[in-house]
């Protein structure tokens, strides 16, 4: 019986907190496991927050570099996922601010986005894929238009599916604020989605 329990424990995946502890003790393999465990979910988070794959990938790269650099700053009192999301979230917000400054400099790219909706493939499957891509594009556009404080809660809640408590810890805001922001973000998103859909319909007519 004891053997079975030990065996079961051995086959269990180590927790994030165990891994970071091992990494802090100098085990590089633990770092590799953390990277592989988090890279895709952080990429998805950063992508939905920024709406740009390259920038998102840079943010995730930088997040893991920070993890390497600041490994000893992590304390076991916090959940590791909260810590890593806080790092990624802050970097994503910084990236957004940088982009804002860049946009002020060059406004010449306006109107470029519309070209991406010109879908001409005739096959049924391609058409379905295109529809789905179009829907995703519209939703992403609506997310992009949200203010950062609404965007971050909605991405963490509805895309990363984190609890209100964890979101509060990541963003360092009270639970009541999380509740109200999630609610307001959804209301805003709903109205933006309707606006975008309407404008697309008008354009196609």
Partner 1 sequence: MSECDKCKRQLSAYIDNELGEDEKQKIISHIASCKGCKEILNGLTSVRDTLTTLPKHKTSPTFNTVLQAQLRREMRLEDPKPIQFLKGFFRVPAYAAMAVIFIAAGIFLDRSFFMEQTTRSAGIADITLQIEEAPVKDISEAEKTEDSRVLKNYVIVNEQFSSQEQNLSRRSSAADSDYQTTNRPSYPRSATGTSSRSQSGFRVQQASLETVEF
Q: Which residues contact partner 1 (rule: CB under 8 A)?
A: 28-29, 31-32, 35-36, 39-41, 43-44, 47-48, 53, 56-57, 60-61, 64-65, 68-69, 136, 139, 154, 157-159, 161, 163-164, 179-180, 182-183, 186-187, 189-190, 193
Which C-beta is closer to partner 1: that of 6 or that of 127? 127
Which C-beta is closer to partner 1: that of 6 or that of 27? 27
Residue 177 neighbours by CB distance under 10 Å:
16
* Burial category of 37 from C-beta neighbours within 10 Å (exposed 0-12, middle 13-18, buried 19 and up): middle
Which C-beta is closer to partner 1: that of 50 or that of 108? 50
Please give the backbone phi and psi of residue 26, each rounded to the nearest 5 degrees, phi first.
105, 5
Least separation in angstroms between CB 18 and partner 1 = 18
Least separation in angstroms between CB 159 and partner 1 = 6
Which C-beta is closer to partner 1: that of 97 or that of 129? 129
Least separation in angstroms between CB 172 and partner 1 = 18
34 CB-near residues (< 8 Å, 6+ apart): 16, 19, 20, 23, 67, 80
**Whether 61 contacts 95, CB under 8 Å:** no
Which C-beta is closer to partner 1: that of 6 or that of 183? 183
**Whether 107 contacts 96, CB under 8 Å:** no
**Whether 21 contacts 76, CB under 8 Å:** yes
Distances (CA, A) of 199 to 112, 118, 133, 193: 16, 15, 17, 10
Least separation in angstroms between CB 70 and partner 1 = 11
Least separation in angstroms between CB 89 and partner 1 = 16
């Amino acid at each position: 019986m004891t053997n079975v329990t030990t065996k079961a424990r051995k086959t269990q995946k180590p927790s994030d907190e165990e891994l970071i502890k091992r990494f802090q003790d100098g085990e590089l393999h633990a770092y590799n496991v953390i990277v592989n465990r988090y890279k895709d979910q952080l990429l998805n988070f950063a992508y939905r927050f920024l709406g740009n794959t390259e920038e998102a990938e840079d943010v995730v790269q930088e997040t893991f570099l920070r993890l390497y650099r600041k490994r000893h700053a992590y304390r076991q009192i916090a959940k590791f996922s909260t810590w890593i999301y806080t790092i990624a979230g802050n970097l994503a917000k910084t990236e957004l601010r940088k982009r804002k400054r860049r946009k002020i400099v060059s406004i010449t790219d306006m109107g470029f986005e519309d070209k991406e909706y010109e879908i001409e493939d005739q096959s049924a499957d391609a058409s379905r894929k295109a529809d789905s891509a179009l829907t995703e594009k519209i939703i992403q556009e609506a997310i992009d238009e949200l203010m950062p404080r609404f965007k971050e809660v909605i991405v963490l809640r509805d895309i990363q599916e984190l609890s209100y408590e964890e979101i509060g810890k990541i963003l360092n805001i009270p639970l009541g604020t999380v509740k109200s922001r999630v609610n307001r973000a959804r209301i805003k998103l709903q109205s933006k989605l309707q606006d975008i859909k309407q404008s697309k319909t008008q354009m196609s007519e």
